[in-house]
Amino acid sequence: MTIYSIIFYILALLILVSTGLAITRRNLVHAVIYLVFSFFGSALLFYLFGAPLLAVLEVIIYAGAIMILFLFIIMMVKVETSEERMFPLNQWLPAAVIGLLYLAIGALLVSSAPGKDIPLEMALTHPKEFGQYLFQRHWLSIEIVSLLLLIALIGALHLGRRKREEKIEEKP
């Protein structure tokens, strides 16, 4: 086992644990923080695989911009959380069964892949070429995603204002 294999398994464990913690937290701010840790682990994994541009994009776009947007939405909507620490057992059981099924199917697919013994050739490109490809061929998709994020932010603002107005009306 090489040092890269050891680093890969450590990063994979870090990503799985932090994502699992993000899913199981009742406090939404804590869930976002754990998800940021998961994104940093994914960025390190990209870097380990020889894709530093994707690693930087992962940190800038996902861990930076989108998670900050989620934090703003959480703060504006001010979701009330219950005092329970964990989810009830009747919610864990279906999730665990489905998760085990996905794990079994994924292991079966990986172990029986027809081209698993063929080494892949590394594809290298520079950020300038990647940016030109992305914005020349997929500009509409990028604009649609930015529009959806804008709509989500406006919706969070609307929900936050409505709750604030309801609290002001209830005070007298």
pLDDT per residue as tens digits for the range 38-80: 898 898 888 888 888 888 888 888 888 888 878 777 777 766 6
CA 161 → CA 29, 76, 151, distances in Å? 20, 8, 15
- Per-domain residue ranges of the chain: 1-79, 131-172
pLDDT per residue as tens digits for the range 75-103: 777 666 555 556 666 766 776 787 788 77
d(CA 22, CA 59): 17
Q: Which CATH architecture has domain 1-79?
A: Up-down Bundle (1.20)
Higher pLDDT, 27 or 10: 10
- Look up tokens 């870090």; give the residue: 14
pLDDT per residue as tens digits for the range 123-169: 777 878 878 888 888 888 888 988 988 898 888 788 777 766 666 66
What is the band of 110 on the pLDDT scale with cuts at 50, 70, 90?
A: low
Q: Characterise 50 by phi-psi region: left (phi > 0), alpha (psi -120 to 50), beta (else).
A: left
Cβ atoms of residues 53 and 123 within 8 Å: no
- Find, among 45, 43, 57, 34, the residue nearest to 12 by Cα: 45
Chain centroid to Cα 77, Å, comes to: 20
CA 105 → CA 13, 15, 35, 128, 169, distances in Å? 20, 20, 25, 38, 54
Burial of 39 (0-12, 13-18, 19+ CB in 10 A): buried
pTM: 0.58
Q: Residue 147 has what pLDDT?
A: 92
CA 53 → CA 18, 49, 116, distances in Å? 23, 11, 26
